[in-house]
Structure 1
Amino acid sequence: MSKCLKCDKLPTLAEGQLSVFLWPPMGHTMGKIKSLLKDYEDVQTIGGGLSFSIESRDMPEFAHKLNTKLTLQERQDSNCLIHQGKRTPSIDDFSCVTSLQKMSSLYDAQWLLDILTQERMTSHFQPIVHAQKPHEPFAHECLLRWQSENGQLNSPARLFQTAQQADLIFQLDRAAREIHIRNAEKQSVRSKIFVNFAPTAIYDPNNCLKSTFEIIREVEIDPSQIVFEVVETERINDPDHLKNILATYKEHGFKVALDDLGSGHSTLNMLGALHPDFVKLDMEMIRNVHKDRFKSELVRKIVDLSHTFNIEVVAEGIECKEEASWLVSQNVDYMQGFYFAKPQAEPYEFLNRRRAH
């Protein structure tokens, strides 16, 4: 099976003696970079830019200086190239030129590269229950956790923030999808599983999803058991790209869900165009919905509209009995939140079976 170079390959940081070439905008930015290079060797002017020598072990410190002394715009507008040893760049090196922002972010993301290479990530499972039978899990959402060097488990927010900055979101999102699938098989999850994905992390679904589909076949999970859930729906600026991704999932027998419906006007517009199997109501809309007239009217209309198009509705972020009772009265199909169960290492259904014995 051919690999997707954007998703399946982690960047490697050059080691040993390095030659660094920088092409900042002329003027103030050039002056600031020159002042940063006063302590480095072989600083030269070359092709309208600068070059210097540095040991690879000193690159994280240099990257930190860049992030401290230059603005984000200056780092984005400056280009760089890194070579092992000493030689002048040629036309063959053009594809390796990147922005100073991406280069410095990649060195700042060494801890994330370590987590990905050492596979220090795992899944927690949060049940999604039937609205009419809240003690029965209909599905589990797979939520990513990462392990620090002292063994502590952490939420994924920092992972994804760093991955976006360092252009590692393709690799992280792929790894997360595949970890969830393997863990669901390992834990013998019998319900459906909701697996999150970011559309911006899938460049071309026909290539980027190959390894994910291969693992699903390998662990022998029926595609109908898996729901791929779009995260950050409100940030989508290319609906056609998302439509292509969802079509690819459906062609392979999977279900799809839109997350955070109602968090932005654009998400409601996409409902008819994308026609997902499930929609998840944004937790901010659910908070105190039973005593907020605006929220309650909005939820009623979304539920009615979704059911008109045979789309099932999941209300997430439920924290109290009153919210749950009101949502049941409005014919929401499924519910999720701390009121029912917090995310945990073992799926809810597995814990029930274990206690039954």
Structure 2
Amino acid sequence: MPCPRCQILPLSSERRGTLLLTAAVRELIAVMGEFLRAHGLAFEDAGLELRLADANLVEFIERVRDSGSFNTLELQAIWALLLEAGESLSFQSLTRARTLEQWLKLLDACALIEILEAQRFVSWFQPILAARDGGLVGYESLLRGIRPDGGLMFPGEIFTLALANDLLFQVDRQARETALRCAAEQGLEGQLFVNFVPTAIYDPRHCLQSTVGWARRLGFDPGRLVFEVVETERVADFDHLKHILDFYRDAGYRVALDDVGSGYASLNLLATLKPDIIKIDMEIVRGVDRDPQRQSVLRALIGIARDLGIQTLAEGIETATELAYVLAQGVDLVQGYLFARPAQHPQAPYRPDPWPQP
């Protein structure tokens, strides 16, 4: 059965069915009935709800928006739910119900919903190099969405819209699968860092089976894949995150924490989770060669990671002097604009010659 959190989109321009409209008080249901009659929309009054047959939710919400017929309190108190053909009202279907206000906000996210519906996510890739000699280790996969006009939607907008409209589950699932598919199409070698948002996974055995299935079908050796926790600082449930990471490790994959060092929470995670790799936050790396405070934090992180047997990756390197400094402190991996910007079709990264020696 498709999962409503990550496989079913809340709005679709194609989907039709029985539209249910209800509210906590009968007076608001009557207000909606007047609206429907004024717009010539046939409906059945079932007492606790109004029913519109063969309706499209997008078209209905657009009509609500364009009419300006409802005030803020009415938009917050009237609920709508679309039942697909043959679907009966159930507790599970009720989880898809939203207020008119929430549906109107989703209209603002239609650009993202269209990308999700058409599966127009792509991955761009940025190389990761070995600190010892600058050899290519692998790539980090970075999400992009292709708009209908061919323009790109970048991660900041994608995840802002996803968080505001409860689309994070759908975005995160498609992003993981897109990373694997695009890397296979490009024939990329080495390790592949695939980002994931732990709050978008409630049960790894269920939520991650499609990702694991894609990896197997595409022939990825588990040892090549590094699943990277993004927004490490926002993790509130350490036990849940550990459960996810244990699932990945049991399947043979490696795990990494992103943006480590930007706050206490990520430091506290190191001893608890013992990831295979930590990515040192770029706010620490940038200008580290001339900032004693950043240098102290960098040295401390590298020392803690070394004691715990964790590899370190310095990300966000933009200058030769930053590179020389992090190499001298003993990082294991490096990444940043100095070597290459993210690209859909990555070329050989720039490698300083001679490569700085620690």
The amino acid of 1:206's aligned partner reads: R
Q: Which residue of 2 aligns with 1:112?
A: 112
One-letter amino acid matched to 1:109: A
Other-structure match for 2:21: 20
After TM superposition, the structure 1 stretch with the greater mean CA deviation from structure 2, 98-107 or 250-259, is: 98-107
Query: Do 1:231 and 1:258's aligned partners in 2 also have CA atoms closer than 8 Å?
Result: yes
Helix, strand or coil: the match of 1:317? coil
* Number of the residue aligned with 1:60: 62
Identity %: 35
Structure 2 CA distance for aligned equivalents of residues 37 and 347 of structure 1: 55
Q: Provide the secondary structure at the position in 2 that maps to 1:319.
A: coil
The answer (yes or no) to whether the contact 1:125–1:348 under 8 Å persists in 2 is: no
Distance in structure 2 (CA, Å) of the matches to 1:119 and 1:269: 37
Cα distance, 1:184 vs structure 2: 1.1
Contact 2:19 2:80 in 1 (8 A): no
Task: Tell me how far apart the structure 1 counterparts of residues 261 and 203 of structure 2 sit (CA, whole Å).
Answer: 28
Q: Deviations over 1:200-256 (max 9, x none)?
A: 111110000001111111011100000000000111111111110000000000000
Tell me if structure 2 keeps the 8 A contact 1:279–1:314.
yes
Cα offset, 1:98, TM superposition = 3.1
Counterpart residue type for residue 64 of structure 2 = F
Distance, in Å, in 2 between the alignment partners of 1:254 and 1:175 is: 19
Shift in alpha-carbon separation, 1:348–1:275, aligned structure 2, 3 A: farther
State the alpha-carbon separation in 2 of the partners of residues 186 and 289 from structure 1.
37
Residue 140 of structure 1 aligns to a residue whose secondary structure is: strand
Secondary structure of the structure 1 residue equivalent to 2:140: strand
Q: Give 5+ residue unaligned stretches, structure 2.
A: 352-358
Alignment partners' CA distance in 1, 2:336 and 2:259: 14
The alpha-carbon deviation at position 257 of structure 1 amounts to 0.3
Letter of the structure 2 residue corresponding to residue 60 of structure 1: E
> Residues 1-357 of structure 1 correspond to what in structure 2 (within 5 A)?
4-13=3-12, 15=16, 18-23=19-24, 56=57, 57-60=59-62, 62-63=64-65, 70=72, 78=77, 80-83=79-82, 94-134=94-134, 136-349=135-348
How many angstroms does 1:149 deviate by? 1.8
User: Which amino acid is the alignment partner of residue 111 of structure 2?
Assistant: W
Counterpart of 2:356?
none
| 8 A contact 1:141–1:195 mirrored in 2 | yes
Q: In 2, Cα distance between the equivalents of 1:271 and 1:236?
A: 13
Q: CA deviation at 1:132?
A: 2.1
1:335 and 1:20, CA in 2 relative to 1: closer, same or farther beyond 3 A?
same
**AA in 1 matched with 2:119:** E
* Distance in 2 separating the partners of 1:244 and 1:100: 36
Unaligned runs of 5+ in 1: 353-357
- Aligned partners of 1:109 and 1:144: how far apart in 2? 17
Q: Which residue of 1 aligns with 2:355?
A: none
SS of equivalent residue, structure 1 residue 171: helix
Cα distance in 1, alignment partners of residues 305 and 158 from structure 2: 33
Distance in 2 separating the partners of 1:99 and 1:271 = 41
Deviation of the 1:186 alpha carbon: 1.4
Root mean square deviation of aligned Cα:
3.5
If the length of structure 2 is used for normalisation, what is the TM-score?
0.81
- Separation of aligned partners in 2, 1:197 and 1:19: 35
Asked if the contact 2:79/2:99 (under 8 Å) is kept, the reply is: yes
In structure 2, what is the Cα distance between the partners aligned to 1:245 and 1:256?
10
Distance 1:97 1:335 in 2: 46
Cα–Cα, structure 1 residues 348 and 18, in superposed 2: closer, same or farther, change >3 Å?
same
Distance, in Å, in 1 between the alignment partners of 2:119 and 2:78 is: 32
Moved more, 257-266 or 116-125: 116-125
Distance 2:71 2:328 in 1: 57
* Cα distance in 1, alignment partners of residues 297 and 71 from structure 2: 47
1:123 maps to a residue whose letter is S
Once the two structures are superposed, residues 64-120 of structure 1 have per-residue CA deviations (whole angstroms, 9 ceiling, x without a partner) of 889x9649xx97x746133579xxx97766444334554333333332222122221
CA contact (8 A) 1:126 1:348 kept: no
So what's the TM-score if we normalise by structure 1? 0.82
Q: Distance in 1 between matches of 2:191 and 2:18?
A: 51
Higher alpha-carbon deviation: 56-65 or 318-327: 56-65
* C-alpha distance in 2 between matches for 1:47 and 1:179: 44
Whether the 8 Å CA contact 1:129–1:336 is kept in 2: the answer is yes
Give the 3 Å change call, closer, same or farther, for CA 178–17 of structure 1 in structure 2. closer
Tell me the matched-pair count.
337
| Displacement after TM superposition at 1:50 (Å) | 8.8
